[in-house]
Amino acid sequence: MPFLHIFILSAIQGITEFLPISSSGHLQILPVLTNLEKQPLIIDISVHLGTLGGVIIFFYKDIVKLIQSFPRILQGRKTANSNTLIMVIIATFPITIIGGIIWFTDTVYLFRNIETIAWATIGFGLLLYIADRFFLTVRNIESINFFQAIIFGLAQVIAIIPGTSRSGIVITFARFFGYKRVDATKFAMLLSIPAILLPGVVSVIELIQSKNIQLQYDFFISLFISFIFSLIAISILMKWIKNSSFSPFAFYRIIIGAMLLIWIYFFDAEKLFMI
C-alpha cells in the first residue's frame, strides 16, 4: 500500500478509536469517499493494535494496579482494583466467544456495507446523547457489578457492526447505569485491551506465517502511526470529558450518518452498496 494511504488510515484509526464515533465505520467509509483502494483486514487489525498501545501507555498506572490486584483475587480478598479486574474479565467473555465464532467463520464481512454503517452511526449516536443528557452521573468504576459487566460484554458484540463504536456503546450503557463520564470512558478503554489483543495476536501469527514482506512492512508502519495518534486523541478526550459532555460526538455521528444516507439514497447508491 502507498505510504500516504497507510498514513491516512492510521491517523483516522488513532484519532477515532476511542472517541465514541466508530473508528471501524470511518475506515470502511474512507475507500468509498476517496480513490484509495480498500485496505485488507490485516491492516484494520494493525491500526487497532496501534491504538491498543496508546491505551496501555496512557493508562499504564491503572493497568499495573489491576495486575497487582490479581493475587488478592486468588486469596479471596476484594478491593476496588480487584473488582474492576474481575469485571473486565467477565465483560470480555461474550466478545471472546461470539466474536471468535464470527472471526473464524469469516462472517465479519457480512456487516461491512455503508447502509448498515450509516444507520448504526445515527442510532447509537442518538442513544449516546440520551444516556449522557438525561441519566445520572454518580457512580465510580469500582462499583461495576456482574450484571453490568455482562451487559458491557454483550454491547461489545454489537459493536462488531461498523458504525456502532465499541468504546461508544460501552460508554453509552455505562452512562445509562449512571457512571461518571471519566469512569465510563476509562472502563471502556480498559475493556478494549483484551477485545483488541485477542484477534490482534491471531492476526500477527497469520502475518508472520504468510511471509509477505510488503504486508508485514505495511502492518508495522500503520501500527506505529496509529499508536502516536491514539495517544494524542486519548489525552484530549480525557481532558475534555472532565468538564464537558459527549453531546458533540453524538451530534457528529448523527450528521455523518444522515449525510451517508442522503448519498446512498439520492446520489451514488450503487457504488456505496458495492463496498
pLDDT, tens digit, for every residue of 133-143?
999 888 999 99
- b/e 231-263 (16+ beta carbons within 10 angstroms → b): bebbeebbebbeeebbeebbeebbebbeebbeb
For the chain, the maximum distance between any two Cα atoms, rounded to a whole number of angstroms, is 62
- Report whether pLDDT(9) > 90: no
For residue 39, what are the domain limits?
3-273
- Report whether pLDDT(274) > 50: no
Q: pLDDT averaged over the chain? A: 87
**At 133, phi and psi to the nearest 5?**
-85, -35
pLDDT digits (tens, 9 = 90+) for 176-235: 999 999 999 999 999 999 988 877 887 778 777 777 778 788 888 999 999 999 999 999
Alpha carbon 118 to its chain's center: 17
- Report whether pLDDT(271) > 70: no
Q: What is the pLDDT of residue 218?
A: 86
Q: What is the pLDDT of residue 110?
A: 67
- Number of domains the chain contains: 1
**Could you report how far apart the first and last alpha carbons of the chain are, in Å?**
18
The more confident residue out of 273 and 249 is 249
Can you list the positions of beta strands (E) in the chain? none
The more confident residue out of 77 and 229 is 229
Q: If pLDDT is split at 50, 70 and 90, which confidence band does 275 have?
A: very low
Amino acid type, 208: I
By C-alpha distance, which of 167, 190, 197, 171 is closest to 83?
Answer: 190
Distances in whole angstroms, Cα of residue 232 to Cα of each of 54, 114, 157, 192: 9, 28, 27, 17
Distances in whole angstroms, Cα of residue 275 to Cα of each of 5, 121, 217: 17, 17, 25
Q: If pLDDT is split at 50, 70 and 90, which confidence band does 269 have?
A: low
pTM: 0.88
